[in-house]
């Protein structure tokens, strides 16, 4: 782990890996609170690391201190919950039997109002130390998996209790760009996402288009880049451009429920409710997402919610009520469901 000023969450994280981790290695990058004291109550493997604006370098330092056959990484606001404690213990036994190079595990980073994962993807969670894997990327760092890869249903939950600096990653990118241009398609892609998160939509479109021009961009990242461009144009109220960007994603990957909903949303904002209905219905029948970021709500809840709205605008209150009830059965406490209930009660 690499940590800095994580006293609010570190104990929760480390407590959750008791009985799973054989050793705990922590690199502290300059804490001024009680983070190091909390860490030392769990392990004597706490190291100081001078921060260099490079997450990959910090993670590589922490990996260099590990001694086990396999190395697992966590962030301080991660936690292993419920059945996943058992699943990770079972995964350790699989590692002994199969000796893979990489174990890919689900990373749940967003949750709905009931605590159900709403945004997940697979990460290279556990790596064979002898394989010499290295982190790459000063922001949005990753390890390129290779060799024998094992997929596991064991999941890590990323549960923040407070929002950090939303501009942190953007500022790191801008500082790096001041010294040298971004070199890789992946760096440009994630820089574009950071611009989008910070509502710099025109700039995001420009950078994401630059990333898409690079054939080295992973096709699922390319499809997602198109989706982010589409979202940018939605916020800019340029709905035809939003549609074009969403349709462009189909050239990189099979249509995902999120993209089909994005097309429906653009038509809905254009008040073309009949077309919107068609695309939301396609989202309901879309096959499961193939890798990359997964947002399950776009395969059921979101299209049902919006189909209710579209049919309502077309005056078909009976069908609107049917889809409202479906949305309500999925997420009864969602604010939009609660608000819409008064129209149908």
How many whole angstroms separate alpha carbon 218 and alpha carbon 134? 19
**pLDDT at 290 > cutoff 80:** no
The DSSP line for 215-226 is TTS-HHHHHHHH
**Which domain covers residue 153, as residue numbers?**
2-158
* Confidence at residue 14, expressed as pLDDT on a 0 to 100 scale: 98
How many whole angstroms separate alpha carbon 31 and alpha carbon 51? 11
How many whole angstroms separate alpha carbon 191 and alpha carbon 183? 12
CA dihedral 249, 254, 258, 260 (to 10 degrees): 80
Element (H, E) at 244: helix 239-248
**pLDDT at 155 > cutoff 80:** yes
Residue 108 · residue 120 · CB < 8 Å: yes
Q: Which of 158, 178, 210 is at the close of a domain?
A: 158
**Mean predicted confidence (pLDDT) in 302-327:** 98
Tally of domains in the chain: 3
How many whole angstroms separate alpha carbon 250 and alpha carbon 239? 18
Task: Based on the fold, state whether residues 238 and 169 are members of the same structural domain.
Answer: yes
Q: Which of 214, 248, 282 is at the close of a domain?
A: 248
- Which candidate, 54, 57, 50, places its Cα nearest to that of 29? 50
**Which residues is 157 bridged to in the sheet?**
79, 108
Confidence of residue 283 (pLDDT cuts 50, 70, 90): very high
Q: For the sheet containing 117-128, what is the strand order?
A: 70-72, 117-128, 102-111, 149-158, 78-79
Task: Based on the fold, state whether residues 154 and 212 are members of the same structural domain.
Answer: no
Q: Is 34 left (phi over 0), alpha (psi -120 to 50) or beta?
A: alpha
How many whole angstroms separate alpha carbon 31 and alpha carbon 3? 8
How many whole angstroms separate alpha carbon 126 and alpha carbon 15? 19
- Coil, helix or strand for 106? strand
Distances (CA, A) of 310 to 81, 275, 305: 39, 10, 9
Task: Based on the fold, state whether residues 144 and 272 are members of the same structural domain.
Answer: no
**pLDDT at 261 > cutoff 80:** yes
**pLDDT at 164 > cutoff 80:** no
Distances (CA, A) of 3 to 133, 142, 176, 263: 21, 17, 22, 40
**Mean predicted confidence (pLDDT) in 232-247:** 98
- Which candidate, 85, 87, 91, 41, places its Cα nearest to that of 70? 91
Task: Based on the fold, state whether residues 261 and 324 are members of the same structural domain.
Answer: yes
* Confidence at residue 259, expressed as pLDDT on a 0 to 100 scale: 97
**Mean predicted confidence (pLDDT) in 250-273:** 97
pLDDT above 70 coverage of the chain, percent: 100
Task: Based on the fold, state whether residues 294 and 213 are members of the same structural domain.
Answer: no
**pLDDT at 132 > cutoff 90:** yes
Q: Which of 117, 140, 158 is at the close of a domain?
A: 158
Task: Based on the fold, state whether residues 214 and 297 are members of the same structural domain.
Answer: no
How many whole angstroms separate alpha carbon 287 and alpha carbon 289? 6
Give the list of residues 6+ apart from residue 214 with CB closer than 8 angstroms, or none.
184, 185, 188
Task: Based on the fold, state whether residues 202 and 233 are members of the same structural domain.
Answer: yes
**Mean predicted confidence (pLDDT) in 313-317:** 97
Over its C-alpha atoms, the chain yields an Rg (Å, rounded) of: 22
Task: Based on the fold, state whether residues 39 and 130 are members of the same structural domain.
Answer: yes
**What does the block give as tokens for 106?**
């689900």
Q: Is the pTM of this model over 0.75?
A: yes
**pLDDT at 315 > cutoff 80:** yes
Task: Based on the fold, state whether residues 110 and 12 are members of the same structural domain.
Answer: yes
**pLDDT at 189 > cutoff 80:** yes
How many whole angstroms separate alpha carbon 111 and alpha carbon 100? 30
CATH number for the domain harbouring residue 315: 1.25.40.10
């Amino acid at each position: 782990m690499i940590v800095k000023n994580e006293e609010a969450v570190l104990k929760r994280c480390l407590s959750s890996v008791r009985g799973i981790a054989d050793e705990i290695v922590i690199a502290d990058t300059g804490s001024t609170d009680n983070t190091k004291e909390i860490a030392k109550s769990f392990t004597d493997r706490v190291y100081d690391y001078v921060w260099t604006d490079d997450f990959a370098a910090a993670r590589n330092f922490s990996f260099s201190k590990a001694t086990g056959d396999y190395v697992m990484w966590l962030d301080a606001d991660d936690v292993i919950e419920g059945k996943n404690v058992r699943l990770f213990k079972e995964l350790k036994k699989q590692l002994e039997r199969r000796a893979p190079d990489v174990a890919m595990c689900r990373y749940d980073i967003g949750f709905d109002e009931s605590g159900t994962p709403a945004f997940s993807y697979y990460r290279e969670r556990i790596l064979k130390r002898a394989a010499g894997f290295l982190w790459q990327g000063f922001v949005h760092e990753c390890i390129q998996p290779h060799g024998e890869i094992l997929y596991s249903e064991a999941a890590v939950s990323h549960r923040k209790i407070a929002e950090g600096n939303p501009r942190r990653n953007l500022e790191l990118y801008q500082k790096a760009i001041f010294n040298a241009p971004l070199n890789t398609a992946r760096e440009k892609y994630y820089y574009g996402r950071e611009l989008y998160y910070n509502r710099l939509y025109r700039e995001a479109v420009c950078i994401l288009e630059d990333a898409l021009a690079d054939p080295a961009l992973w096709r699922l990242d390319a499809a997602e880049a198109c989706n982010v461009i589409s979202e940018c144009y939605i916020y800019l109220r340029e709905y035809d451009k939003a549609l074009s960007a969403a349709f462009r994603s189909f050239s990189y990957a099979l249509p995902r429920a999120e993209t089909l909903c994005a097309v429906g949303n653009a038509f809905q904002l254009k008040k073309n409710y009949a077309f919107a209905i068609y695309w939301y219905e396609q989202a309901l029948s879309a096959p499961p997402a193939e890798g990359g970021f997964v947002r399950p709500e776009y395969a059921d809840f979101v299209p049902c919610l919006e189909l209710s709205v579209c049919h309502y605008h077309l005056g078909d209150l009976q069908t609107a009520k049917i889809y409202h009830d479906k949305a309500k059965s999925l997420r009864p406490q969602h604010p939009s469901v609660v608000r819409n209930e008064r129209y149908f009660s």
